[in-house]
Structure 1
Amino acid sequence: MSDFVHGDQADARKSHEHKHAHDVEAGEKHTIVSDNDSEMARQDAAAEVARARELQSNVGILAFLRRQEERLDEKMGIETQGIDRILEEDKKPPSILNVFFLWWSLTCHVGTLPLGILGPEVFGLTFGQSMSSIVVGTFLGSLCPAYCGTLGPKLGLRAIATSRYSFGFWGAKLCSVLNVIIGAGFAVVNIVVVGQILSAVSDYTMPIEVGCIIIAILGYVISIFGFKLIHTYEKYSWIITFIIMLILIGEIGGKVDTTLPPFDTGVLQAGSYLSFLAVNFSSASGWCSMASDYYCNYPANTKPWKIFVLTVLGICIPTIFVTIIGACVGYAAFSPNNPDLTAAYSDHLLGGLLRSCFHPMGFSKFLLVLLAFSVIGNNVAVNYSSGLSLQLLGHYFHAIPRFIWSFLNALVVAVLAIAGREHLSTIVNDFVSLLGYWTVSFTFILLIEDQFFRRKEGYNLSAWDNPSKLPYGIAAVMALLTGYLAGGVTGMSQTWYVGPIALAFGAPYGGDVGVFLSLAFTIVVYVPGRWYEKKVTGR
């Protein structure tokens, strides 16, 4: 433990004496470390980081878990870094192109297909409306993780840890919980899809829940190896899936019915369009609270525009590609010209539909097995980030190794997937739509903090784990809650609730404008609230 503390203190003294050249990003005015930090404050911060190590040394069960983690690291090379800030000299950056290819494996997989199917199945849009909603919604949503990701190299911190400079030590715990919920939702969708596919491969003799368990285990095992393996795995795992998706669109391209009429017209149709756009926005923006987890090993002087552009392209291209294919599958399945596809979806859900899309049958089953494993890249990242988020709930949580948290997360996700295995469309629609209300608030709180309140002051990096040096977070929490409750709830359009503003687009389903209202309320509350909080508290 003493080595850990002394090493961090030495880093603090070195940064204090030299005022690192890399403390100011190339081409940027954002000072990373404030010049007026005292040596004592840095030592206090180092002591805060060391608390988890103290707990691991003094509490029997935690000491046992730490030994097991070290043993796994020795035997298998799992990552033991946890949530600690990565010092500049300790960073081991992969190629900058990984920023682009990472997202291909996270989004180019079979679990993205159900998003596109919602266009014709749930919202009853025309083919052209679905296409434009997918493109516009995904692009707008990708801007959120793209911006949040730029904070990773600059601060060397995981995504939720960066939010402590806005939400404070305690308010960031709320973000941790929400991030875990987001990850669980993504993973549940993926696991249910795989369960349906593997059941189809077995000629429906294998229960869906068995496939759910298989993919949950595989995703967990790979996730415990951490950052380096994840970046390597994600760089290549999308390639086979991309080829299979091309085969899929080739197989069903001639069956896509672009003339299917919409469910509604006029203002009701506009409401359905907004609701589907919100789903696509939320699907892409949901990564905003995880992006920095995979960027924090890049040097602080990495150009922010590179991270931003590569992230936008990395999310948009594969997500739009697969979601559009999903929509095409839907417009083929719900066409009266293809009764075999309609029956396959009705009787055996997405797994049965995909089995009928590919042919001949032997080739179909082979491709379905490969598609089933395509979701591993996504689930690996979710398990990894969820484990980190749970560690950020406090020092005792930090002291429990990440592989334990990732296991518990994978277990809960598997149980939820099994429980919802027959209701995929409902899960996708209700869960994904809800994401946007908080992700847009989270993104703009971090953006305003970074671009306005810390433009000159910068970030005291030694205080990232020190509650007494971080903001109280009152303004951020209030802005987030106001955005969600006053904006998201009143503007949401879900199967179980339609807000009063959403109803302006007509009963019974209205139009989902919760994302836009959440954004507006967040900005209105956070800017004056944070200014007043800073004026009164000095933090």
Structure 2
Amino acid sequence: MSTEPKTDEGPAPSKASDVPSTPPAADDTPTNHDNNGNNNTRKTRLRTLLSKAAAFGRVEVRGITPIPVKERTVTRTVNVFTLWWSMNTNILGITFGLLAPVYGLALRDASLVILFFTLLTTILPAYLATWGPRIGMRQMLQARYSFGRYLVSVPVLLNLATLMGFCVIMAVVGGLCLSSVPEDAGALSVTVGIVVIAVVTVGISFCGFTVLHVYERYAWIPATVALIVAVGTGGGELRKQVVYDEVERPPPTAAAVLSFGMIVASYMVPWACLSSDFTTYLRPDTSSTKIFTYTYLGLALPTILLMTLGAAIGNAIPNVPAWQAAYDRTLVGGVLAAMLAPAGGFGKFLVVILSFSLLGNMAATSYSITLNLQLLLPWLVKVPRYLFSIVFAAVVIPVAIKAAGEFFENLENFVALIGYWSSAFLAIVLVEHFVFRGGDCAAYEFDAWNDAKRLPWGVAALAAGVLSFGLVVPSMAQVWWTGPIAETTGDIGFELAFAVSGVLYVPLRWVERRWTGR
């Protein structure tokens, strides 16, 4: 019987033979024979287990290497929608929406900012997702055709920092939710909650594409039910919105609107740096319109709804003493527990569901992390993708435990930075595609992906990105730095990073092509 999965369920995974079935030869270093034999036995058992899992289609062995046309067989395009919908139907959007009052934005103003910036910035990840089936490469592997085989390590490193940062945020939020469930404060520590969330995430991302898509197909359902109940039980208190006095607290300035808009953009734009990771197994003739539409709706709809809910909660907290007390104890987890308190024990169960709603996002993000780690250094492509899941947990857990202490301050500082580099990176990739490759996915030489002599040098791409920050830095408005331009306009660093890097890349890439011929 064939071990290949059906084309409507997931991709054809790499064959079990791709997993080494025998341990490496022992070196010449003298060792204790018994210990060496035991170690080899354990290694053999592990490899055998992984081989069986791969053959059964439950562990994706293939890593960053391109997907041949014959293996791009998935026809169930709606999986794209369920993946993105499930990844974003969680309490992370609520957490970002809670930042609206920090910028002095009432619910109405915050809702408009969330709506506009989400609708605008979702275009980037939705469009880049359409490249996956046609090029057959993960997003950051495609970037080698702009940044070269070696210099691509710079945006890969930045992308890893971004993805790891988001996973740290989600681990903290999930840990806070779990710790808010017991009535006795401290009965379940945030640290334990973080470890639980991270370990379960590793299990899903370890398996890879097929298991990830199956999980995402259903994970959104309990999360949606829990969120609806939370709004229903806490709806009466949500009406108690803060009234902004026009004398003591004047209407929001353009600077405040743009700065909060930057927060929204920083939530959405980084998705574009991994969006084709989840579409590479689709058939090459899959409708680009369908992929774009499913990605756009799956990203935008839950983000707008949940960020707006977060803004409503944030502006109601000062007027609801029980919510304020719960927020002071365990932040977003405490508020959600307070909202669900009228539901009694069932409400506590739903808080647990909400904490685990983050798994869909974390698992997909950590899946992309395992792929990016293979690209960081050329020789890392030889390391099996699934082993990097362990590295992910080893990094995220201690950092999340440390970040939980000053969560919202750390969140603000982190989110403020990620939009700048990703905006510059995406502009360069798009200019390369439209200006120098004629918007044709066939212009990417499939078999040149690992050949430095056939790929661009990458100097033009890196120079355009770095030089753009000459205008980005004066246009940044952060807690620790406000540039002279931003003092007047608010934070427009995201917009300038995109525009300036794209403009600079055209002449620099032209010179590079003339000089190198590639």
Q: TM-score range by the shorter chain?
A: 0.7 to 0.9
Aligned residue number for residue 101 of structure 1: 82
- Indicate yes or no: 2:270 matched with 1:286: yes
Q: Distance in 2 between matches of 1:133 and 1:70?
A: 53
Q: Within 5 Å, which residues of 2 pair with 1:102-181?
A: 102-120=83-101, 122-181=102-161
Letter matched to residue 524 of structure 1: V
Match of 2:298 among 298, 310, 314: 314
- Indicate yes or no: 2:407 matched with 1:434: no
Q: Residue 121 of structure 2 aligns to a residue in which SS?
A: helix
Q: Distance in 2 between matches of 1:172 and 1:143?
A: 24
Aligned residue number for residue 312 of structure 2: 328
Aligned 8 A contact 2:106 2:315 in 1: no
Q: Distance in 1 between matches of 2:121 and 2:47?
A: 37
Q: Within 5 Å, which residues of 2 pair with 1:134-533?
A: 134-203=114-183, 204=185, 205-256=187-238, 257-261=240-244, 264-265=249-250, 269-335=253-319, 338-358=320-340, 359-455=342-438, 458-483=443-468, 485-505=469-489, 511-533=490-512
Aligned 8 A contact 1:187 1:413 in 2: yes
User: Residues 67 and 138 from structure 1, CA distance in 2 versus in 1: closer, same or farther, beyond 3 angstroms?
Assistant: farther
The offset of 1:67, in angstroms, is: 8.6
Q: Distance in 1 between matches of 2:471 and 2:333?
A: 37
- The aligned length equals 476
The offset of 1:57, in angstroms, is: 9.5
User: Residues 155 and 67 from structure 1, CA distance in 2 versus in 1: closer, same or farther, beyond 3 angstroms?
Assistant: farther
The offset of 1:65, in angstroms, is: 7.8
The offset of 1:212, in angstroms, is: 0.2
The offset of 1:216, in angstroms, is: 0.3
The offset of 1:386, in angstroms, is: 0.5
Q: Distance in 2 between matches of 1:461 and 1:325?
A: 44
Q: Distance in 2 between matches of 1:379 and 1:259?
A: 33
User: Residues 365 and 65 from structure 1, CA distance in 2 versus in 1: closer, same or farther, beyond 3 angstroms?
Assistant: same
Q: Residue 150 of structure 2 aligns to a residue in which SS?
A: helix
Aligned 8 A contact 1:141 1:282 in 2: no
Match of 1:74 among 52, 68, 81: 52
Q: Deviations over 1:173-217 (max 9, x none)?
A: 112111111111111111111111111112321111010001100
Letter matched to residue 467 of structure 2: T
Aligned 8 A contact 1:184 1:413 in 2: yes
Q: Distance in 2 between matches of 1:100 and 1:93?
A: 14
The offset of 1:348, in angstroms, is: 2.9
The offset of 1:334, in angstroms, is: 2.3
Letter matched to residue 382 of structure 1: T
Q: Distance in 1 between matches of 2:491 and 2:419?
A: 11
Letter matched to residue 78 of structure 1: V
Aligned 8 A contact 1:69 1:80 in 2: no
Q: Distance in 2 between matches of 1:523 and 1:435?
A: 18
Letter matched to residue 50 of structure 2: L
Q: Residue 421 of structure 1 aligns to a residue in which SS?
A: helix
TM-score (norm 2): 0.87
TM-score (norm 1): 0.84
The offset of 1:427, in angstroms, is: 2.6
Q: Distance in 2 between matches of 1:65 and 1:169?
A: 33
The offset of 1:53, in angstroms, is: 10
Q: Distance in 2 between matches of 1:151 and 1:401?
A: 25
Q: Residue 202 of structure 1 aligns to a residue in which SS?
A: coil
Aligned 8 A contact 2:177 2:330 in 1: no
Q: Residue 187 of structure 1 aligns to a residue in which SS?
A: helix
Aligned 8 A contact 1:127 1:260 in 2: no
Kindly, what percent of the aligned residue pairs are identical? Answer: 34
Q: Distance in 2 between matches of 1:65 and 1:277?
A: 51
The offset of 1:349, in angstroms, is: 1.7
The offset of 1:59, in angstroms, is: 8.5
Give the unaligned 5+ runs of structure 2: 1-17, 28-39
Q: Distance in 2 between matches of 1:105 and 1:175?
A: 27
Q: CA RMSD in A?
A: 2.4
The offset of 1:431, in angstroms, is: 1.5
Q: Distance in 1 between matches of 2:130 and 2:423?
A: 16
Q: Distance in 2 between matches of 1:244 and 1:503?
A: 42
Aligned 8 A contact 2:67 2:137 in 1: yes
Q: Residue 63 of structure 2 aligns to a residue in which SS?
A: coil
Q: Residue 206 of structure 1 aligns to a residue in which SS?
A: coil
Letter matched to residue 68 of structure 2: L
Q: Distance in 1 between matches of 2:318 and 2:275?
A: 36
Aligned residue number for residue 92 of structure 1: 73
Aligned 8 A contact 1:333 1:341 in 2: yes
Q: Distance in 1 between matches of 2:358 and 2:75?
A: 22
Q: Distance in 2 between matches of 1:70 and 1:81?
A: 17
Q: Distance in 2 between matches of 1:291 and 1:487?
A: 28
Q: Distance in 2 between matches of 1:66 and 1:301?
A: 41
Q: Residue 280 of structure 2 aligns to a residue in which SS?
A: coil
Letter matched to residue 494 of structure 2: V
Aligned 8 A contact 1:114 1:428 in 2: no
Aligned 8 A contact 2:117 2:265 in 1: yes
Aligned 8 A contact 2:201 2:359 in 1: yes
Q: Deviations over 1:276-314 (max 9, x none)?
A: 111111101111111111111112222323222221111
Aligned residue number for residue 3 of structure 1: none
Aligned 8 A contact 1:241 1:370 in 2: yes
